[in-house]
Amino acid sequence: MASEGKLNAMLQSIGDPMSMMDNDLNILWTNETAKKIFGNDIIGRKYLEEEGYGGG
């Protein structure tokens, strides 16, 4: 869907780390900035377990 692609491009271009989580605080999505800071393997981890993301 074109609007989904535009939204993803907009969110990826933000210079601050951003993430989306489910109700159990599992990280479902992050922008590239967050991946650079916390690593590409951050998807699927718990928000509160990540150093600098509220835990650690």
pLDDT tens digits for range 8-31: 888 888 899 999 999 999 999 999
What is the domain count for the chain? 1
The H or E element spanning position 32 is helix 32-38
Considering the domain boundaries, does residue 25 fall inside one? yes
Name the β-bridge partners of 15. Answer: none
The H or E element spanning position 10 is helix 2-13
Considering the domain boundaries, does residue 44 fall inside one? yes
Q: What value does the mean pLDDT take over residues 30-52?
A: 85
Question: Whole domain around residue 13: which residue ranges?
Answer: 2-49
Considering the domain boundaries, does residue 6 fall inside one? yes
Q: Answer yes or no: pTM beyond 0.75.
A: no
CATH of the domain at 44: 3.30.450.20
